[in-house]
Structure 1
C-alpha cells in the first residue's frame, strides 16, 4: 500500500515509487540515452553533426564500444526488472496494474473527445477519464518500451553475431536486422521526445520518478481511482512478515536459477564471436593503391561500318506500260524511273546507305511487287516506304 506523509492537510503526499524503482529508472534512462546517441550517429554517418559527435567520442571505434557497453547495461537492467517483477507478483502479491484492458481503450477515447471538445456533443467525454495507478498513456509507453527492447535485443544479437546467426537463418536476415534495428531506434527516440517529454515534462511536470512522491492534488488530477483506493484501504496491502518469508524461500531459488540463466545468455550474447571490423585510420603521407587490375581495361572502339559497293543505279525506260508511280527518288518521293533489277529483293528488306560520310539506316521498305530479273529483261516495281 502506498505510504502517506503530511505536515499539514494541504501538504499531504503519497509515495509513488520506492528508491529501488527510481534507481532502476535512472539506469535505464542513462543506457537508453547513450544507445540513442551512439547509434544514430552510426546510422546517419554522413551527417556533419554525426561526424562531429563521433570525433568528440574519439572515433567510430570508441563510439561502437560505448554503444556495446550501453547495450550490456540495458540487458542487465532488463534482467533486474524481470526479477523485481517476479518478486512483487509472487511474494508481495501486487496487482498487475500495468496490464492494458478494455477500460484503457475507453479512457483513451474519452480523453480524445474531451481534449478536442466533442464530449458534450456525443454525450461521452464531457470530463476527463478517471484512471487508476497507471494511465493509458503510461501503459502504452511502458509496453512500447518492452516491445522496443525485445526488437533491439534480437536484431542486435543478429548484427553482433552475424556468422553464428547465418548458420541457422538465411543470410538475408542480417541486413534485414540492421534495417529493423535502425528503424526501431529512430522510432524509440522520437517517441521519447514527442510523447514522453510532453506528457511528463510539458503538459504536467511530474517529479514522482525523482522524488518518489506525489501530492494529493496531483494524485486527484492524474490518478483519482488509486487515491480513492488508498483512502478506502482497498489498495494493495503488504502481506505479513511470516507469509513473506515463506514465499521468499520458494522464490529466491527460482530467481537464482533465472538470474544465472539470463547472465549466461548475456555472456553468450557478448562473446559468441568477434567479427567487427577494426577501422584503420589513414596514414599520413602514405599512398596505397586500392585496386590494380591484372589486365588493362580495353578502350571503347568505333562502331564498324559496311564497305561501300558499286551498285548499278536504275536506268530510265520508255516502256508504255510504265506507271507514274515508278520508283523512289533520292528524297523519298515517287518517280517514273524504272528499276533495273540486278538483285532479288524480298518483303521487309533493310537498306543501308552511306550519305555524306555518315551511316544512315533507311527504315523498312515494303515492296508491293517483287522485282526479279528474267534473262536480263527489266520490269517495273512500285516502291512504298512504311
Structure 2
C-alpha cells in the first residue's frame, strides 16, 4: 500500500484480531450460589456434639475390647491403639473429655432453668410430656397406615430419648468408671466386691449405650431415614434448608411465623466447592464410625453365641 507522499505502508494482517470490546474487560465474576437456611444449632451445640462424637467413639473402641479381651477381634482393636496400656490411656483421656462436656451441659441447663424461672415451655423442652406420648402412638399408627404422620416441634420424642439417655448413662458409666480408675480410694469407702459390681454395670451400660447411639436409635433416626440419607449434617453445619425445616418441624415453623420470630433464625448461606468438600468429609467420617460400630457389634454378638 502506498501513502499520499509516496512512501510504502505495511498491509494489515489478514488474521489480525480486533481489540476486545470494552465491556469484556469488565466482565463480572460468577457469583456463588446462596440459599436461605434455618439455624438450628449454635456454635456451642456443635462443639458439644463434636466432643461427644469423638470421646464416645474412642471410649467404645478402647472399652469394648477390654470387656471381650479373650477374643481375637478384641486384640486386633487393641493393636490399633498401640496395645492394652495405650488403649487404657486413650480411654481415660476420653473419659476426662466426657466429664468436661457433661459438666458444661449441666451448667447451661441450670442457667437456662434459672433464667426462665423454672417455667420452660412444654413445646420446646427436652423433657418428656403428653405430646410425646401422642406422637409415639401416632407414629406407630402411621407405620401401619392407620393415620397421618405426627407433626413435631423443636424436639421429637426420639431426640429427647437420645439426650436423656446420654445424661443418665454418663452418670452411671462415669461413677462406675471412676470407681475402677481409683480402686484403692474406692475400697476405703466400699467393700472390695463393689469393684466387680462396678465392672459389670460399667461394661453393660456401655454396651447398651453403644447399641442406642450407633445401632438402634440415634444413628438410624439421624442419618438413615429417607429424609436425611446418607447424612444429616445439620449438627455439623448448624443450619438446614428452610424447605427441609418446614417439612421436619412444621409446628415450630408455624409457631415462629405466628410469633414473628422466624427471621431471627434464618441465615443466608453461600454454597461453594468448600461446602461440598466439608459435606463429603463429614459423610466419610460418619460412615467410617458407623461401619466400625456395626463390625464391633457383629463381633460382640459372635462372641456371645460362640
TM-score by length of 1: 0.54
Secondary structure of the residue aligned to 1:130 is coil
Matches within 5 A, 1:124-163: 126-163=147-184
Q: How many residues align?
A: 223
Is the counterpart of residue 16 in structure 1 residue 37 in structure 2?
Answer: no
Following superposition, the deviation at residue 166 of structure 1 comes to 2.3
Secondary structure of the residue aligned to 2:240 is strand
Larger radius of gyration: 1
Distance, in Å, in 2 between the alignment partners of 1:34 and 1:101 is: 34
Secondary structure of the residue aligned to 1:27 is helix
- Which residue number corresponds to residue 50 of structure 1? 74
- Summarize the Cα distance change of 1:236–1:157 in structure 2 as closer, same or farther, 3 Å threshold: farther
Residue by residue over 1:38-64, the C-alpha shift from the partner in whole angstroms, topping out at 9 and shown as x without a partner, is 000111112212112212322111110
Following superposition, the deviation at residue 197 of structure 1 comes to 1.4
Following superposition, the deviation at residue 168 of structure 1 comes to 2.4
Contact 1:226 1:235 in 2 (8 A): no
Distance, in Å, in 2 between the alignment partners of 1:110 and 1:144 is: 22
Range that drifts further, 181-190 or 89-98: 89-98
Contact 1:97 1:134 in 2 (8 A): yes
- Which residue number corresponds to residue 27 of structure 2? none
Following superposition, the deviation at residue 116 of structure 1 comes to 2.0
Residue by residue over 1:261-291, the C-alpha shift from the partner in whole angstroms, topping out at 9 and shown as x without a partner, is xxxxxxxxxxxxxxxxxxxxxxxxxxxxxxx
Is the counterpart of residue 168 in structure 1 residue 189 in structure 2?
Answer: yes
Following superposition, the deviation at residue 92 of structure 1 comes to 7.2
Distance, in Å, in 1 between the alignment partners of 2:194 and 2:247 is: 48
227, 240, 264: which one pairs with 2:253? Answer: 227
- Which residue number corresponds to residue 208 of structure 1? 234
66, 74, 98: which one pairs with 2:90? Answer: 66
Is the counterpart of residue 80 in structure 1 residue 104 in structure 2?
Answer: yes
Following superposition, the deviation at residue 91 of structure 1 comes to 4.1
Between Structure 1 and Structure 2, the one with more helix by share is 2
Following superposition, the deviation at residue 221 of structure 1 comes to 2.2
Contact 2:253 2:262 in 1 (8 A): no
177, 186, 195: which one pairs with 2:207? Answer: 186
Distance, in Å, in 1 between the alignment partners of 2:56 and 2:103 is: 15
- Which residue number corresponds to residue 28 of structure 1? 52
Distance, in Å, in 2 between the alignment partners of 1:114 and 1:104 is: 15
Structure 1 runs not aligned, ≥5 long:
1-6, 120-125, 239-386
Contact 1:152 1:184 in 2 (8 A): yes
Residue by residue over 1:337-365, the C-alpha shift from the partner in whole angstroms, topping out at 9 and shown as x without a partner, is xxxxxxxxxxxxxxxxxxxxxxxxxxxxx
- Which residue number corresponds to residue 197 of structure 1? 219
TM-score by length of 2: 0.68
The structure with higher relative contact order (CA 8 Å, sep 6+) is 2
Structure 2 runs not aligned, ≥5 long:
1-32, 265-306
Contact 2:59 2:95 in 1 (8 A): yes
- Which residue number corresponds to residue 110 of structure 1? 138
Secondary structure of the residue aligned to 2:150 is coil
Contact 2:172 2:202 in 1 (8 A): yes
- Superposed CA RMSD in Å reads 2.3
Following superposition, the deviation at residue 87 of structure 1 comes to 3.4
Distance, in Å, in 2 between the alignment partners of 1:236 and 1:79 is: 31
Secondary structure of the residue aligned to 2:70 is coil
Secondary structure of the residue aligned to 2:108 is helix
